[in-house]
Structure 1
Amino acid sequence: MITVFQTVKDDSKKVHYREKIKGYMDRAEQIKDHVNKLKEEGKYHEQMKIADSSTGFSYESLLKPYIRDGLTEVWVQDPYVRHLYNFLRFCEMLLKCQCKVKTIHLLTSQDEDSSAQQTSALAEIKQSLQSQNVCLDVQYSSTIHDREIRFNNGWIIKINIFPPLFFVGYCDYDLRECHETTVDIFHTKHTKKT
């Protein structure tokens, strides 16, 4: 509509198009304000479908809208934390945000093929986080199968699959090709307590 507006010479039509554009912009602002209100009230559920081989889905792009002041504790549940570089990148993203995360809880399964290496690497990450005044609490479970991230501000992010390693996007997650998956984001105010 803006392109049409720029080509119109008739002043009365310009006024008409200007009013239409203003109406659309006002409505877009109302929708944006409504969504923000729902987010603040915890009544928001977003489901993103990520297509196979799509890019542009880094931790920052997926999670930053839910990382706010007051966030101090994070729970990560992932049964297959084997590529610890991914987990480290997640921790780094939290450190770079304006929030003051003090504790990160990780619940994962023990890597049967290289548990000593996994334990050693997690100990190194724990020590490194301690130097940033962040406590890493690692627990193991052989029965978990879902992946989720919970923030103590109430937000929950469930993701079906994390991307593989060793290709373009290994270091810049915005360039990383994703597997097809679904990401659900919702607030704990509207979940049943079990």
Structure 2
Amino acid sequence: MNIEHAAINILKRGVELDTKKRYTEALVCYQEGLQILVDKMKGEPDESLRSYLRKKVEEYMNRAETIKKLVLQQKEAGQFHEQIHIENNSIGHSYKTLFGRFLDEDVQFVIVEDPYIRYHHQCQNFLKLSELLVRSCPNLSYIELVTSSDVKSANDQKNCFHILQNDLGRHKIKLTVKYSETLHDRQIILSSGWIIKIGRGLDYFKAPENKYCLGVFEMDLRPCLETTVDIVHSKNVRQIQS
């Protein structure tokens, strides 16, 4: 497959997401596809092909700008809502793929509300999220986890959090863990205003079939349980942290 076809496939995926009103995902595809086309256009000696590529770039760039304005308008009006349905046994839904596009220099603190960060694999899920936050959010200084405890797992749970607190501290990030026995909702709140609500919380991956199968480490290759993800934006999020 040549570079031009690769770009067109990415842009077609953008159109598909655009049609489903998954605008922020569509924008990522448009930006990736456009960058490939622009690079191809710059090095293309054939004037007719360069003209064709220029036309395509303008077409998708205009649509990308329209979406940017639409997302901004919906955010300002407090009406932004993007929904993603993860089907049973589907792959390609790592935390980075699902909401990594919202993790950037604007994120200064993150609040994770999930009642089921208790057992080993659930603590590992939170660890994977923490690693992603450290890599993606250069200005992150505070993570708050609100979860519940379980008598059987309490010691292992606290040990996990203690180790992670020390490690995050080396990156100048403070981790605070709060416990609630009445918590039900599951959501990730970013200081930039984005709120990711995952029906199953962080624990929507199926257990790997064995220790050496694909998906043990690369979560985009791990089959998922069915769940729904709702992404909204609130201008009042910054008031949450005291």
Structure 1 residues 29 and 116, CA, compared in 2 at 3 Å: closer, same or farther? closer
- Shift in Å at residue 163 of structure 1? 1.7
Query: Within 5 Å, which residues of 2 pair with 1:136-147?
Result: 136-147=175-186
Please give the TM-score of this superposition, normalised by the length of structure 2. 0.65
Give the aligned CA root-mean-square deviation in angstroms.
2.7
Query: Are residue 85 (structure 1) and residue 120 (structure 2) matched?
Result: no
Which is helix-richer, 1 or 2? 2
Q: Secondary structure at the match of 2:196?
A: strand
Query: Are residue 182 (structure 1) and residue 240 (structure 2) matched?
Result: no
- Shift in Å at residue 69 of structure 1? 1.7
Q: Which amino acid aligns with 1:37?
A: L
Equivalent residue number for residue 92 of structure 2: 56
Equivalent residue number for residue 45 of structure 1: 81
Where does structure 1 lack aligned partners over 5 or more consecutive residues? 3-16
Q: Secondary structure at the match of 1:157?
A: strand
How many equivalent pairs are there?
176
Residues 43 and 190 in structure 1, CA contact (< 8 A), matched pair in contact too? no
Structure 1 residues 188 and 163, CA, compared in 2 at 3 Å: closer, same or farther? same
Equivalent residue number for residue 160 of structure 1: 199
Q: Secondary structure at the match of 1:189?
A: coil
- Shift in Å at residue 87 of structure 1? 0.5
Q: Secondary structure at the match of 1:91?
A: helix
CA–CA separation in structure 2 for the residues paired with 1:150 and 1:84: 18
Query: Are residue 67 (structure 1) and residue 103 (structure 2) matched?
Result: yes
Structure 1 residues 39 and 88, CA, compared in 2 at 3 Å: closer, same or farther? farther
Residues 51 and 178 in structure 1, CA contact (< 8 A), matched pair in contact too? yes
CA–CA separation in structure 2 for the residues paired with 1:132 and 1:105: 15
Equivalent residue number for residue 16 of structure 2: none
- Shift in Å at residue 100 of structure 1? 1.5
Please give the TM-score of this superposition, normalised by the length of structure 1. 0.79
CA–CA separation in structure 1 for the residues paired with 2:61 and 2:173: 43
CA–CA separation in structure 2 for the residues paired with 1:45 and 1:57: 19
CA–CA separation in structure 1 for the residues paired with 2:188 and 2:139: 17
Q: Larger Cα Rg: Structure 1 or Structure 2?
A: 1
Structure 1 residues 148 and 24, CA, compared in 2 at 3 Å: closer, same or farther? same
- Shift in Å at residue 27 of structure 1? 5.7
1:9-37 deviation line (CA, Å, top 9, x unaligned): xxxxxxxx99x978964663354333443
- Shift in Å at residue 120 of structure 1? 0.8
CA–CA separation in structure 1 for the residues paired with 2:58 and 2:165: 53
Residues 208 and 216 in structure 2, CA contact (< 8 A), matched pair in contact too? yes
Equivalent residue number for residue 64 of structure 2: 29
Residues 35 and 44 in structure 1, CA contact (< 8 A), matched pair in contact too? no
Query: Are residue 101 (structure 1) and residue 137 (structure 2) matched?
Result: no
Match for 1:125 among 137, 143, 164?
Answer: 164
Structure 1 residues 154 and 29, CA, compared in 2 at 3 Å: closer, same or farther? closer
Q: Which amino acid aligns with 2:167?
A: S
Percent identical pairs in the alignment equals 34
Residues 107 and 137 in structure 2, CA contact (< 8 A), matched pair in contact too? no
